[in-house]
């Protein structure tokens, strides 16, 4: 490793290229604090120079580079930027803005001088002039914007190529590339500074611009650190980025993968375009909250991938560390980086299929709907394993996923805890590792049946039926999950002979006996005042003996047996009416759940319990419990 100070003139005035590797993050510097601070330093140094005041060089920090062996004698010498790409990119945009300002004013000497800092000469003898022309070649997603800015030739053309866009009914424009924003910032500040400073010092504008350039050339330096052959650029990258804004786990993975690709001499643009570009999207960068912490979807997808592969829990804060340990095993996990990225992409596709699903667009029988409405994303590593790692045919996969769904659904109904789901599902993966094909389904059921307590128990039929009768599910279970249970019951009662089993979207949960039942529903033959119906402890005189019955009714009407589904038009119409009025409205419904009421003469606690039992028994068939012989 060799460290040398370099003025900006020395840094950019040679025939060379600084290439930002794939593992680097995108250009993220902004006006505050980075561009404005840099410009204040530049302006201060230029003014001191114009006043004849000598000052020490201003160091802009370190630039760590690693030379790359050329693939052809025609190739322009190339250096990978291990650290300092944000700084280097900003300086290039500053010089580009200066060049275009000089070009606009037809200051040809200044134009030619700064052009040498931006572009390499003799494009006709280069191996790949489209790439090698530029002194700086950013990471893939920044290249288009950067090259369009440098080749534009004027601030007007840059603004035309990167216009502000306004969406309908939006006051503020959509954000545009901050590469263009940086260029335009420096373009405006250079123009304003030259005008003001020329008047202050009674100089021509060209003389003032020349003084500014001289200050940039000689008064600003970087410490260029060139890595030797034995230096580990990956470890250096991690160490340098452990301070300041932390790298995400997916940033670290990208660095790990593409540094190894560099060493394998793989076409990095090709593997980026074919594999990694899929993860540089809004979907994967979106932050989601899990377990009280916020992660990008890419960080979560990486963590789930590693758990699916290893069958071990992975700390969300140390995903990259665990991944590096896992991928470094001998013999190698994958023959090449291409196979590694291909496998990660396959798992990413499964994750995206489940995570991007929208609940109301899915039918109740879709497993994605189950995970969304029951809020059990922690099952995704197991699902990844079953779909991609276990070597199952479609029938075996369906068998396994049905078992997982039954386990989850029954526990939702019986109010069992979910806090250990992440550990449980990863433990299941561990127990299935090494098994293939028809060995997997029975072992999966055995593992799910083997848990105990409130965290890992697979509820029995008797427990499901009892909770269907007694649990106030309307209060206890979130609306999406409860609606899903009722929709699955509707599909079950329709049976296979019904032509169209599609459930309409937007159905609402309806209490048959309303929560405000006092107006039309007698209790033990007596009318109950509204205040007592809501607050039984207020009962007085002859109503005191009915207080416990009121409490029982208020609890019973929240149970599964008293709930059904109606569309948004029928629900208000039924509302708090009498049972006779409700039956008349229910007659308009095509749902099998509501055909039940056609032959029911009255509706009270006893009938609710009866229906709750029937619904509980149906749930046991929808989400069956394994037979004892499979344990």
Residue 313 contacts residue 423 (beta carbons within 8 Å): yes
Task: Write down the residue that tokens 């209490």 correspond to.
Answer: 511
Neighbour order of strands in the sheet with 136-137: 2-7, 220-226, 58-68, 78-83, 17-19, 136-137
Residue 222 contacts residue 6 (beta carbons within 8 Å): yes
Instruction: Work out the pLDDT band at 427, boundaries 50, 70, 90.
Output: very high
Residue 256 contacts residue 325 (beta carbons within 8 Å): no
DSSP H or E run through 60: strand 58-68
Euclidean distance between CA atoms 343 and 309, whole angstroms: 10
Q: DSSP strand E in 78-176: where?
A: 78-83, 136-137
Give me the helices (H) in 242-336, please: 249-264, 268-274, 282-285, 297-310, 319-327
Helices (H) and strands (E) in the chain, counts: 31, 10
- Residue 230 confidence (pLDDT) above 60: no
Dihedral sign of CA atoms 507, 512, 518, 520 in order: positive
Euclidean distance between CA atoms 239 and 453, whole angstroms: 45
The mean predicted confidence, pLDDT, of the chain is: 89
Residues 6+ away with beta carbon under 8 Å from 574: 510, 566, 581, 582, 585, 586
Query: How confident is the model at residue 243, as a pLDDT?
Result: 44
Instruction: Work out the pLDDT band at 133, boundaries 50, 70, 90.
Output: very high
Point out the least confidently predicted range of 14-18, 166-170, 426-430, 542-546: 166-170
Task: Write down the residue that tokens 């899903």 correspond to.
Answer: 484
The angle subtended at Cα 379 by Cα 479 and Cα 255, nearest 5°, is: 120
- 170-180 residue pLDDT tens: 778 888 899 99
- 20-70 residue pLDDT tens: 877 677 898 999 999 999 999 999 999 999 999 988 889 998 888 888 888
Euclidean distance between CA atoms 432 and 445, whole angstroms: 11
Residues 6+ away with beta carbon under 8 Å from 115: 99
What backbone phi and psi angles, to 5 degrees, belong to 311?
A: 70, 30
Strands 220-226 and 2-7: antiparallel
User: What 3-state class would DSSP assign to 136?
Assistant: strand
- Residue 587 confidence (pLDDT) above 80: yes
Q: Is 315 exposed, middle or buried (0-12, 13-18, 19+ CB in 10 A)?
A: exposed
Burial track 588-602 (b if 16+ CB lie within 10 A, e otherwise): ebebebbebbeeeee
Euclidean distance between CA atoms 478 and 352, whole angstroms: 24
Euclidean distance between CA atoms 173 and 246, whole angstroms: 29
Instruction: Work out the pLDDT band at 106, boundaries 50, 70, 90.
Output: very high
Q: Which has the closest alpha carbon to 21: 124, 143, 192, 134?
A: 143
- Using only the alpha carbons of the chain, give its radius of gyration: 34
What backbone phi and psi angles, to 5 degrees, belong to 346?
A: -60, -45
Euclidean distance between CA atoms 284 and 299, whole angstroms: 8
Residues in the chain: 631
- 60-102 residue pLDDT tens: 988 888 888 887 888 899 898 888 899 999 999 999 999 999 9
- Residue 456 confidence (pLDDT) above 60: yes
Q: How far is residue 155 from each of residues 102, 208, 407, 517, measured CA to CA in Å?
A: 11, 20, 62, 72
Give me the helices (H) in 356-478, please: 367-373, 380-384, 394-414, 421-432, 440-449, 453-456, 461-470, 473-476
Look up residue 631 and give its two tokens.
């344990």
Where is pLDDT greater, at 427 or 541? 427
User: Which of the residue ranges 236-250, 341-355, 490-504 has the most confident prediction, judged by mean pLDDT?
Assistant: 341-355
Look up residue 192 and give its two tokens.
């304003």
Dihedral angle of Cα 406, 411, 414, 420, to the nearest 10 degrees = 170
pTM exceeds 0.75: no
Q: Please compute the mean of the pLDDT values over residues 535-540 and round it to a whole number.
A: 85
Instruction: Work out the pLDDT band at 244, boundaries 50, 70, 90.
Output: very low
User: What 3-state class would DSSP assign to 79?
Assistant: strand
Point out the least confidently predicted range of 213-217, 419-423, 519-523, 570-574: 570-574
What backbone phi and psi angles, to 5 degrees, belong to 469?
A: -85, -40
What percentage of residues in the chain have a pLDDT greater than 70? 95
Query: How confident is the model at residue 242, as a pLDDT?
Result: 45
User: What 3-state class would DSSP assign to 526?
Assistant: strand
Q: Which has the closest alpha carbon to 280: 320, 246, 250?
A: 250
Q: Please compute the mean of the pLDDT values over residues 10-19 and round it to a whole number.
A: 93
Query: How confident is the model at residue 509, as a pLDDT?
Result: 94
What backbone phi and psi angles, to 5 degrees, belong to 554?
A: -60, -30
- Helix pair angle (394-414, 479-494), 10° resolution: 120
For the residues of 539-582, what is the DSSP string, one character each? --GGGGGGHHHHHHHHHHTTSGGGEEEE-TTHHHHHTT--HHHH
**Long-range contacts (CB closer than 8 Å, 24 or more residues apart) made by 125-129:** 125/74, 126/74, 126/75, 126/76, 127/71, 127/72, 127/74, 127/75, 127/76, 128/75
DSSP H or E run through 294: strand 293-296
What backbone phi and psi angles, to 5 degrees, belong to 242?
A: -80, -10
Q: How far is residue 200 from each of residues 208, 428, 515, measured CA to CA in Å?
A: 10, 76, 80
- Residue 538 confidence (pLDDT) above 90: no
Query: How confident is the model at residue 619, as a pLDDT?
Result: 97
Give me the helices (H) in 364-393, please: 367-373, 380-384
Q: How far apart are the first and last CA of the chain?
A: 62
Euclidean distance between CA atoms 181 and 89, whole angstroms: 13
Q: Is 21 exposed, middle or buried (0-12, 13-18, 19+ CB in 10 A)?
A: buried
Q: DSSP strand E in 433-533: where?
A: 508-511
Q: Which residues pair with 511 in a beta bridge?
A: 563
Residue 368 contacts residue 355 (beta carbons within 8 Å): no
- 294-314 residue pLDDT tens: 888 998 999 999 999 999 999
Residue 83 contacts residue 235 (beta carbons within 8 Å): no
């Amino acid at each position: 490793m060799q460290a040398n100070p370099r003025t900006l003139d020395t840094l950019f005035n040679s025939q060379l290229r600084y290439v930002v590797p794939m593992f680097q993050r995108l250009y993220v510097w902004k006006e505050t604090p980075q561009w404005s601070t840099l410009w204040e330093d530049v302006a201060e140094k230029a003014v001191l120079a114009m006043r004849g005041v000598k000052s020490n060089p201003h160091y802009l920090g370190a630039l760590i580079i690693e030379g790359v062996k050329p693939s052809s004698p025609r190739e322009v010498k190339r250096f990978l930027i291990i650290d300092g790409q944000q700084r280097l990119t900003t300086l290039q945009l500053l010089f580009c803005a200066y060049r275009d300002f000089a070009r606009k004013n037809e200051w040809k000497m200044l134009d030619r001088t700064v052009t040498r800092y931006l572009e390499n000469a003799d494009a006709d003898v280069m191996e790949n002039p489209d790439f090698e022309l530029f002194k700086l070649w950013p990471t893939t997603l920044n290249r288009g914007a950067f090259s369009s800015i440098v080749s534009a030739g004027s601030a007007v053309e840059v603004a035309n190529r990167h216009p502000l866009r306004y969406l309908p009914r939006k006051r503020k424009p959509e954000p545009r590339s901050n590469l263009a924003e940086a260029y335009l910032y420096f373009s405006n500040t250079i123009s304003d500074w030259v005008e003001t400073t020329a008047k202050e010092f009674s100089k021509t504008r060209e003389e003032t611009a020349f003084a500014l350039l001289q200050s940039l050339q000689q008064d600003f330096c970087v410490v260029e650190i060139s890595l030797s052959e034995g230096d580990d650029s990956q470890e250096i990258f991690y160490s340098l980025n452990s301070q300041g804004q932390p790298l995400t786990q997916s940033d670290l993975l990208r660095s790990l993968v593409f540094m190894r690709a560099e060493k394998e001499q793989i076409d990095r643009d090709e593997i980026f375009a074919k594999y990694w570009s899929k993860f540089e999207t809004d979907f994967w960068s979106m932050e989601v909250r899990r377990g009280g912490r916020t992660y990008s979807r890419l960080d979560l997808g990486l963590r789930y991938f590693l758990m699916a592969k290893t069958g071990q829990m992975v700390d969300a804060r140390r995903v990259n560390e665990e991944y590096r340990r896992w991928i470094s095993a001998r013999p190698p996990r994958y023959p090449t980086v291409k196979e590694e990225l291909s496998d990660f992409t396959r798992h990413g596709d499964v994750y995206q299929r489940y995570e991007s699903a929208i609940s109301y667009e899915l039918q109740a029988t879709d497993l994605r709907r189950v995970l969304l409405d029951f809020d059990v994303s922690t099952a995704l590593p197991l699902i990844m394993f079953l779909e991609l790692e276990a070597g199952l045919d479609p029938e075996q996969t369906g068998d396994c996923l049905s078992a997982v769904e039954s386990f989850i659904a029954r526990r939702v109904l019986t109010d069992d805890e979910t806090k250990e789901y992440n550990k449980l599902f990863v433990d299941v993966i561990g127990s299935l590792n090494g098994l293939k094909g028809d060995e997997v389904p029975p072992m999966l059921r055995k593992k799910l049946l083997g848990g105990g307590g409130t965290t890992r128990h697979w509820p029995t039929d008797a427990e499901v039926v009892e909770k269907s009768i007694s649990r106030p599910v309307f209060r206890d279970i979130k609306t999406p999950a409860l609606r899903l249970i009722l929709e699955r019951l509707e599909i079950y009662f329709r049976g296979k002979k019904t032509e169209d089993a599609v459930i309409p979207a937007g159905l609402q949960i309806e209490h048959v006996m309303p929560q405000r039942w006092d107006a039309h529903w007698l209790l033990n033959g007596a009318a109950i005042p509204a205040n007592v119906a809501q607050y039984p402890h207020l009962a007085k005189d002859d109503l005191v003996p009915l207080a416990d019955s009121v409490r029982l009714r208020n609890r019973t009407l929240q149970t599964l047996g008293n709930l059904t589904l109606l569309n948004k038009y029928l629900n208000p119409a039924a509302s708090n009416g009498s049972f006779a009025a409700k039956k008349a409205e229910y007659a308009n419904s095509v749902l099998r759940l509501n055909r039940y009421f056609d032959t029911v003469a009255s509706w009270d606690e006893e009938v609710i319990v009866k229906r709750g039992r029937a619904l509980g028994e149906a749930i046991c068939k929808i989400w069956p419990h394994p037979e004892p012989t499979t344990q």
